[in-house]
Amino acid sequence: MISLRDQPRRELGGPDPLDRRIGAPPLTALQWLRSTLFTRSALGLAPSLTPAVVFLPLGAILGPRGLQWFTPQVLNRLDMAVTIALAVLGVMVGVALARGMREHSRLLAAASLESAVTVAAVAGATAYFMVQTGIQVGVPLGAIALAFGICASASSATSASPDSEAAAAVGTRVADLDDVLPIVLTTVAVPLMLTESAQGTWILIGATVATGLTVGAIGWLLFDRAESSAERVVFVLGAMALAGGAAAYLQVSPLAVGLIAGMFWVMAPGLADRVVIEDLGRVQHPLVVLLLLTAGALWAPSVTVLWLLAPYVLFRLAGKCAGAWATAHFLEVRAGDLAAFLMPPGVLAVAFALNVKQLLPAEAGQTLISVVAVGTAAFELFALAVVPRWRRSAGHGPDPGNGDAGRGLERTP
């Protein structure tokens, strides 16, 4: 049996390349859909191949514009749970960053370059499109354009397949590390564009760093001293609640607070980072489902959303291809392979949107989350349906979207 600490931890909640190598009996399309909707995957207790495709539309159906199970009052009460979930994702990114800084500094630089290319492509296209069409959402143009670019930069690398093991490993690591730059931009650049007082913004940035270090220090003092695994889980979840609660109270980025705490646990003596990753693995998938359902429920169709969806989707595709082309040479992989692996955005695109939404007025925040939710589902479907065919036509082995689509979905090691 493979322990949690031995598996590469992906923040999406889907299978990473090592999961795919173990394999499972082939599933038909109907069996795959049933396994997604009626098994532990549907509850978020086990990974599914494309959770965004299932849970974003389900959230829209259950939301205020559907069956109204998620009323505006319920969504308001979920704000704290969403904030804690964002802090958990920030911890996972922080752990990946700190480990990558020690082991793969070149990968970190390449991932940041790839992310920057995508941010620039989508932000520039969005700003140009809004100027030409006269669309306004009630916030400075640069801030909303940068917000779209930040959300577009997220990657999950879930289209990796075992027939290209080296490229799959590089793609997974790049997807882990290309989330760092967007979190920094969310914490620094977006608040500076939204406020007139730069001094107050820098105070909040300092508070973000201090909060992350404080949570990290408290967790480090408690985790190794737990007398039982149950007590340790309580300490870990308490640290996550503290991170989310402090971020909500100070109105700072919970992703950034979690990022700093995660880095602290890797760099501090002891096994705090392994403890955190192992225990958070028990709640990772339910939190992914919570974020996707919330984003789906917040979806609000409008003409503005429809117009802004086009540049978001087209220039995210162009940005990922350009970013992969710019970095593939340094990573010694094919640009096409890397671009294919980075195409699905995963849950972090939704997480970035929910994070930035907390900083924006209601109209701008709803527009952002609506565009990103639809774009995320579209790219997950694109990666599921188109990327395997491209890889097969390029001579990379069998199409994992057909007979092998169920591999790794409901595997028991």
Give the CATH class of 51-393. Answer: mainly alpha
Structure-token pair, residue 41: 């995957």
| Single-letter code of the amino acid located at 309 | L
Nearest residue to 264 via CA among 209, 315, 213: 213
Nearest residue to 265 via CA among 254, 252, 253, 278: 278
Indicate the range of 67-76, 103-112, 113-122 predicted with least confidence: 103-112
Domain extents for the chain? Answer: 51-393
Q: Where are the alpha helices (DSSP H) in 299-361?
A: 303-331, 335-342, 347-357
Higher pLDDT, 43 or 114: 114
Structure-token pair, residue 351: 């997480």
Q: Quick one: pLDDT at residue 407?
A: 30
Tell me the average pLDDT across 175-191. 88
Spatial contact of 256 and 243, defined as CB atoms under 8 Å apart: no
Residue 402 has pLDDT above 50, yes or no: no
Q: Quick one: pLDDT at residue 39?
A: 43
Residue 226 has pLDDT above 70, yes or no: yes
Spatial contact of 280 and 273, defined as CB atoms under 8 Å apart: no
Spatial contact of 87 and 244, defined as CB atoms under 8 Å apart: yes
Name the region of 34 (left: φ>0; alpha: ψ -120 to 50; beta: rest): alpha
Mean pLDDT, the chain, integer: 79
pLDDT above 70: percentage of residues in the chain = 77
Q: Quick one: pLDDT at residue 368?
A: 95
pLDDT digits (tens, 9 = 90+) for 267-279: 998 888 888 988 8
Spatial contact of 124 and 145, defined as CB atoms under 8 Å apart: yes
Indicate the range of 164-173, 311-320, 330-339, 348-357 predicted with least confidence: 164-173
Question: Would you give the DSSP letter of residue 42?
Answer: G
